[in-house]
Amino acid sequence: MQTLQTTSLQVRDNQLWILDQQALPQQKNWLPAHSVAQLVEHIHALRVRGAPLIGLSASLLLALLAEQGQTQRQLAESLAILRAARPTAVNLMNNLDRMKQALAQPAFATALAEEAWRLVEEDKQLCEAIATAGSALVKPGSQLLTHCNTGGLATAGVGTALGVIVRAHQQGRINNVWVDETRPLLQGGRLTAWELGELAVPYTLITDSMAASLMATKQVDAVWVGADRIAANGDVANKIGTYSLAVLAHYHQIPFYVAAPHTTLDRGCPNGEAIPIEQRAASEVTGVAGSFGSVQWAPEAANVYNPAFDVTPAALISGWVLDTGVVTPEQVQAGIFQPQ
Ligand code: MRU
């Protein structure tokens, strides 16, 4: 397969490599993701993360395994294992359903390579289209707040919500980006802060609990987040803490935008209650770990609740910024995301 270089994925020497997002920003380590077991382990550990990126990494690995001679049956097994690697982000399932169709063709190795490549190229274009549609909503002099990481690390392109923010910065409309640290795994504090710094976008890091007082003192003009799954009624699953921000934004009458590609839409899922929410290890809440080492501060026996995502009801969302354009609350109420 031809070589590929995105912010956090590489194909070289006919193998897949991933940028370890758990080691960033202190270390930039490219790790092998040469087997299904390796990639699944990286996905579980969030070394590869972000809804679009998970789907793309799984698709590329399948194509490479086909090139290395795996049979149709072996590939079908690999696909099933990869499809179950994380439950909430629907991009993984959507991408692999397309790869499954390619796998069913007689010249499946070529078809898989072509489909994986198409998915990567499409993702770049989807990000561009989202950035174009979303940046038009950003007013000059804006102070925006974002949560988790939705940038080039999480996609093959410029990102979703963060792509909008970066584009708006390039257009001279950003005064400051408030970056939620995003407990427990600190995707904001480690990854978004790093990406914005690299792109020279002015940002200020905050702990998640600081958003309310910033809004109350009129220091936030809009909130921009990504999505892991958008249900047919417009409810959105995204990183834990997104719902709190939506409630706060609603109370303070601040626009709350969700930016995502159409590959994040799940028309078969009626509402947020039907979205499977990943539960994660207690150790992520009782302490913190990264390239800086690990520390535990809670008692060993503490009971812990650690859902990786929450659901924001459609009623709290001001606009769904997709690659196809901005979808309004009225359009969602009229059923634009419902199965056609
Ligand atoms: O657990 P993560 O880091 O994979 O969660 C990521 C998010 O919630 C993102 O907001 C979402 O996947 C969109 S990434 C463009």
- CA 46 to each of CA 4, 24, 64, 111, 185: distance values in angstroms, whole numbers, following the listed order: 21, 12, 21, 29, 9
**pLDDT at 1 > cutoff 90:** no
As a whole number, mean pLDDT of residues 113-137 equals 98
Query: How many helices and strands, by DSSP H and E, does the chain display?
Result: 11, 17
Nearest atom (ligand 1) to Cα of 308: 1
Q: Say if CB 9 and CB 60 are below 8 A apart.
A: yes
Structure tokens at 284: 């992520």
pLDDT tens, residue by residue, 157-170: 999 999 999 999 99
Around Cβ 307, how many Cβ atoms within 10 Å?
Answer: 12
CA of 227 to the centre of ligand 1 (A): 7
Structure tokens at 281: 């290890």
Q: Say if CB 111 and CB 105 are below 8 A apart.
A: yes
Q: Angle 36-44/72-83 helices, nearest 10 degrees?
A: 10
pTM exceeds 0.75, yes or no: yes
As a whole number, mean pLDDT of residues 145-153 equals 98
Closest alpha carbon to 166 in 186, 183, 144, 189: 144
From the centroid of its chain, how far is CA 157? 12
Residue 167 assigned to a binding site = no
Class of domain 139-334: alpha beta
The single residue listed with the structure tokens 């001001």 is 318
Nearest atom (ligand 1) to Cα of 21: 3
Nearest atom (ligand 1) to Cα of 151: 15
| pLDDT of the residue at 29 | 97
Strands 236-239 and 265-266: unpaired
Report the alpha-carbon angle 318-323-324, nearest 5: 85
| pLDDT of the residue at 290 | 84
Nearest atom (ligand 1) to Cα of 155: 15
Residue 29 assigned to a binding site = no
Please list, in sequence order, all residues whose beta carbon lies within 8 angstroms of the beta carbon of residue 215, skipping any fewer than 6 positions away.
Answer: 248, 249, 251, 252, 254
* pLDDT tier, 220 (very low <50, low <70, confident <90, very high otherwise): very high
Structure tokens at 150: 């939705």
Give the integer Cα–Cα distance in Å for 124 and 326: 18
Q: Going by CA atoms, what residue is nearest to atom 8 of ligand 1?
A: 239
Residue 149 assigned to a binding site = no
CA of 51 to the centre of ligand 1 (A): 5
78 touches ligand 1 (CB under 6 Å): no
pLDDT tens, residue by residue, 43-94: 999 999 999 999 999 999 999 999 999 999 999 999 999 999 999 999 999 9
- Which amino acid is residue 73, in one-letter code? R
Residue 83 assigned to a binding site = no
Q: Where are the domains positioned within the chain?
A: 4-127, 139-334
Superfamily of chain region 4-127: translation initiation factor eif-2b, domain 1 (1.20.120.420)
Q: Say if CB 42 and CB 31 are below 8 A apart.
A: yes
Give the integer Cα–Cα distance in Å for 154 and 47: 11
Closest alpha carbon to 54 in 12, 15, 24, 96: 96
Q: What are phi and psi of 160, to 5 degrees?
A: -105, -90
Mean pLDDT value across the chain: 97
89 touches ligand 1 (CB under 6 Å): yes
13 assigned to active site: no
Q: Going by CA atoms, what residue is nearest to atom 10 of ligand 1?
A: 226
155 touches ligand 1 (CB under 6 Å): yes
Catalytic residue among 208, 221, 228, 310: 228
Residue 280 assigned to a binding site = no
- Which amino acid is residue 215, in one-letter code? M
